[in-house]
Amino acid sequence: MKFWHKIASFLLIACMLSVQLPVAAGEGGEPEITAQSAIIVEASTGRVIWEKNADARMYPASMTKMMTGILALEQMNLRSQIVMSPAAAYTESSPLGVLPGETIRTDELLNGMLLESDNGAAVALAESMAGSVSSFANIMNGKAEELGMKDSHFVNPNGLTAEGHYSTARDMAKLARYAMQNQAFRDIVKQEQRTIYWTSPGNKTFRAHNTNKLLGKYEGMTGIKTGWTNAAGGCLATGAQRNGVELIVVLMKTPTPDDRFKDAEKLLDYGFSHVKMSKALSKERTRHRVWVTNGQEASTHVYPAKDIAYPLINGEDKSKYSLAYDVPKVVSAPLKAGTPVGNIVVRYNGKAVEQVPMLSEQVNSGFSIGSWLVQTFSWAINLV
């Protein structure tokens, strides 16, 4: 009887534990969010941690301004002056209040656009870069193609609702990840507030506040860009860093503006509880030899553009990661220091999850017996 009593007691305790200890979101369960589409990616590799309808085409609203912002940083002289056109000044939802004919420096306008989400500022930047909104849209779409944003198409620089202007959570995550690799972009979107200064009239200023309410509230928050229209609903691309892990979250079409921030907190919490980084290679300690033709030396070294770390999700096995050099065996001088020469391909379970550029040391052109021999026998070197 004592044996059966023990068995019954054990079963009773097991049942009680199963009822009292459900698996909560962030500890193995799925996060419950209001957004119709969302994705979490690890920022250094772009590896997807979790997604929901991430390829559904939707209006991106002002997340569009990430594209306008990064293009401005890459193509414009930030100290150049912009005279506000009537078309830009009278664009709806332009809280900076830059009037036609007023002059403002490019970097001031860029900060105002990314913090206050000023739609007119986006138009002014587009006009300065391409002459017109339609011409700038072509540049945006070219950049989108370059970034592998296969389900995106832009027709304006600010995200105001328009036919043919769409994107997906996955594509917006690619854009956000790319933009956040630019230090100037990171510095802008992490600001909680900033004073915007006019060139003319010289006494005009505006105190811009970042529309991302998670800045200063969520631990490790790094930005990035909000979005809202009646058609798009609540949109948000945001990022955070904790314990060596950087995440990017994108969500689209929440019912209310506040829901996007609540959803983002849930998704970031979920991501941080499921991911840890494992260091693989240090760029300072990794060198890969390549042979040189037409150079003063017969060989040089290439090295990774950054340290390589693996995102391990839900206790994954580090041994399933592998690295492969996709680097030419022979290069031709001259090469400037830092010139990309192939990649290191990072794979998990045989699937490529990241490519890290390999950069060259300085290689001067000239003649050496060794380099001449490399050129003579390059066919044999490439066969090895």
Q: Is 318 within any annotated ligand binding site?
A: no
Is 273 a known active-site residue? no
Whether 175 contacts 151, CB under 8 Å = no
Neighbours of 106 (CB within 10 A): 20
Q: Catalytic one among 117, 128, 152, 360?
A: 117
322 is annotated as an active-site residue: no
- Our answer to whether residue 329 is catalytic in this structure is no
β-bridge mates for residue 51, sequence order: 39
Q: Which of 65, 143, 174, 266 is catalytic?
A: 65
Chain centroid to CA 168:
14
- What SS3 string covers 265-279? HHHHHHHHHHEEEEE
Residue 52: Cβ within 10 Å count: 18
- CA distances from residue 34 to 176, 222, 259, 264 in whole angstroms, order as listed: 21, 23, 7, 10
Task: Show contacts of 342-347: CB within 8 Å, 24+ apart.
Answer: 342/302, 344/281, 344/304, 344/308, 346/45, 346/280, 346/308, 346/310, 346/321, 346/322, 347/321, 347/322, 347/323
- 3-state class of 195 per DSSP? strand
Query: Alpha-carbon distance 221 to 240, whole Å?
Result: 4
What amino acid is encoded at 310 in this protein?
Y
Catalytic residue among 37, 44, 62, 167: 62
Where do the DSSP E strands lie in the chain?
37-42, 48-52, 81-83, 103-105, 193-197, 205-209, 221-229, 233-242, 245-254, 275-281, 288-293, 299-304, 308-313, 321-326, 330-332, 340-348, 351-360
CA–CA dist 378, 330 (Å, integer)? 7
Please enumerate, by residue number, every residue annotated as part of a binding site: 225
Please enumerate, by residue number, every residue annotated as part of a binding site for substrate: 225
The residues carrying an active-site annotation are 62, 65, 117
